[in-house]
Amino acid sequence: MKMAKKCSVFMLCAAVSLSLAACGPKESSSAKSSSKGSELVVWEDKEKSIGIKDAVAAFEKEHDVKVKVVEKPYAKQIEDLRMDGPAGTGPDVLTMPGDQIGTAVTEGLLKELHVKKDVQSLYTDASIQSQMVDQKLYGLPKAVETTVLFYNKDLISEKELPKTLEEWYDYSKKTANGSKFGFLALFDQIYYAESVMSGYGGYIFGKAKDGSYNPSDIGINNEGAVKGAALIQKFYKDGLFPAGIIGEQGINVLESLFTEGKAAAIISGPWNVEAFSKAGINYGITKLPKLENGKNMSSFIGVKSYNVSAFSKNEELAQELAVFLANEKNSKTRYEETKEVPAVKSLANDPAIMKSEAARAVTEQSRFSEPTPNIPEMNEIWTPADSALQTVATGKADPKQALDQAAETAKGQIKAKHSGK
């Protein structure tokens, strides 16, 4: 997920016994004594350490070690690891978006994890796949998220919700007046626009038979992608989206219009649940609408994970901690504290989680979603694709011309930066 703002709730299978869920294999007394007095450092996401407070205390007691938790924005931890890891001031365990895994592995920043199959099988297939590079495991899923539809119940009831994006266009035509709007989305960004483009047959990278991405097969400018972009352009061209929603400040404009009651519905994500609640908006949350061809709008599944730094001096203990933090029991506790939706299959129908409208919406939307490509070549897609979509949004270029240029730029960048692989 270009996941910072973005930035998968799939859920899972048989419960594991509490002893296994609690910490994986017990250490022998000799192993325990060898870890005694050690200190591990965990980089946790901003304002999320409350979710692992009890787990960390339990791990410290079990292993007679000290665990220091430092909060950092999870999408930027890889940047700090590049500097702090070699300097010896980095973490043992960190958290990061799944789409950064490939780059981190290529740069030698992460340790491969060696965990039993019954640990891997705790998680949804999509979430565990986000942690795989060349069939090797480099992390365990912490949480999943997708984009969803937020709507203002004071402006539109659940029964009145349009079923398709095209119907939302018609609704917006009737309600948008320049200061108030119907439906809004950040369609000038590929992270959001892909929801429409892929529904008509567009894609980021094609896939080989084994499911791996083929970076030489770029589908952001194929016939389906262009059709999706043309539909997107209509919202801007017909004045249904405000001009301020385009560009870097677009996300702030979008969120402000919703919290001020000036937009009936927006596409956002579970990361905004708390902010919208604090703003006092009487909102509902549901999956994204369908398209006129009958397919549901898709979304990228964002997977947050716990990973072990390649620079850790206590890699075995760090792996145990990562397994422990991501287990079933601690994933549920973390959800209760931070509302991060677990990727643990057995929690899919847990009453404590499913009573949350946001968790239910993410779970349903995840059926129509796929992981953000986690290969390094994805880094060459974001900027040219976003630039192209901005020219589509402003009407400076037609969709085919803009997307052809984006694909050409991305291919050139991939050839220049990644052809040695």
CB atoms within 10 A of CB 27: 17
Q: Do residue 279 and residue 352 come from a single domain? A: no
- Examine residue 10 and state whether it is found in any structural domain, yes or no: no
Overall domain count for the chain: 2
Residue 401, CA distances (Å) to 342, 378, 392, 395, 406 in order = 41, 21, 9, 11, 9
Contacts of 212 (CB under 8 A, 6+ apart): none
Rg (CA), the chain: 22
Q: Do residue 342 and residue 223 come from a single domain? A: no
Q: Do residue 162 and residue 139 come from a single domain? A: no
pTM above 0.75, yes or no: yes
Q: Do residue 158 and residue 175 come from a single domain? A: yes
Q: Do residue 109 and residue 205 come from a single domain? A: no
Read off the pLDDT of residues 132-178 as tens digits, 9 standing for 90 and up.
998 899 999 999 999 999 999 999 999 999 999 999 999 999 999 99
How close are the terminal C-alpha atoms of the chain, in Å? 24
Residues in the chain with pLDDT values less than 70: 1-37, 420-421
Q: Do residue 207 and residue 81 come from a single domain? A: no
Residue 99, CA distances (Å) to 70, 151, 293, 412, 419 in order = 22, 28, 29, 21, 20
Read off the pLDDT of residues 326-351 as tens digits, 9 standing for 90 and up.
999 999 999 999 989 999 999 988 99
Domain harbouring 106, CATH code: 3.40.190.10
How do beta strands 299-308 and 93-97 pair? antiparallel
Q: Do residue 112 and residue 261 come from a single domain? A: no
- Examine residue 8 and state whether it is found in any structural domain, yes or no: no
- Could you give the CA distance from residue 343 to residue 128 in angstroms, rounded to a whole number? 9
- Examine residue 11 and state whether it is found in any structural domain, yes or no: no
Contacts of 277 (CB under 8 A, 6+ apart): none
What's the domain range around 154?
148-300+374-418
Q: Do residue 55 and residue 42 come from a single domain? A: yes
Query: What's CA 213's distance to the chain center, in Å?
Result: 18
State residue 363's pLDDT score: 86
Q: Do residue 233 and residue 118 come from a single domain? A: no
Q: Do residue 268 and residue 394 come from a single domain? A: yes
